[in-house]
Amino acid sequence: MPARVAFVMKLNPGAAEEYRRRHDAAWPELLDLLKTYGIANYSIHLHEGTNQLFAILEADDPARLDALPEEPLMRRWWDHMRDIMETEPDGRPVQEPLVEMFHLP
């Protein structure tokens, strides 16, 4: 059974529409890469008052996700997004993991 993985990220002020536009046009090869890593049911939600993005996904093996930063295509996507969100020095989004406190199956 897949595991749920949740985390928060943060957009720069005024970047919500651009973030949506870029994700609406997400590269098919990027989506295929995520699926290759066993990711499904991936959604991202915006809290407009704080510009925080809440992301949740299902992963066949969450440990496999640790290798995603090594993928050139993933790094290219992060470079594409870094001007509109908080990022680490290496370009990946600042992600803070969330601990599941309740789940209604």
Residues labelled catalytic: 23
Q: Which of 6, 14, 10, 8 is nearest to 87 (CA)?
A: 10
3 state SS of 58: strand
Cα separation, 25 vs 38, in Å, equals 21
What is the DSSP code (8-state) at residue 45? Answer: E
3 state SS of 84: coil
